[in-house]
Structure 1
Amino acid sequence: MGKTLYEKINAKVSEGTKVFEGYVDDCRNTDNAWVQTTVLNIHLSRTDQVMVDVNNMMVSSHDSLQWQEVSSKTRLGSNQRDSLRQVAELHNRKF
């Protein structure tokens, strides 16, 4: 199921909206190595087959995976918080 789900999600990447791409501050950064990331927003409806598959995977994970509501009060790194704020703005939602 994992490989098939990966392929389905990967197919949705082209539909995503790029939120951020570039250097991020990270404790792993050094003079000779640094972290660069790309943040994509891929919006799926609850009935989209990919979401159904993700939810089925979560149910079968026996609580090792879980959904988490994200808000401005959730503990996150600053780069994660900035990306989520941009996604909220993209969808005209408060963060």
Structure 2
Amino acid sequence: MKQEHRVIDYEAEYNNRALVPEHPALIEGWKRDAAAYRAEAHCDLAIPYGELSERTTYDLFLPEDSMPAAAHRPLPAWRLLAGA
């Protein structure tokens, strides 16, 4: 039995913007939500670390009252909404 092999175009498979035609509206919604949250959250934004550049900052969101804190290190795609 002959096996058929399919060539996978990984660029196309992982290009979520091309796969989701309504992505501009989704991203704008995320930006609005992020701005609204940052306006009300107890946070320190753009704290520098390492070499001084806009790529070496982080945002610190503090919990309310005595709630425990959690740390999250996002993937590089987070830069899409940096400063939103």
For normalisation by structure 1, the TM-score amounts to: 0.31
For normalisation by structure 2, the TM-score amounts to: 0.34
Higher relative contact order (CA 8 A, sep 6+): 1
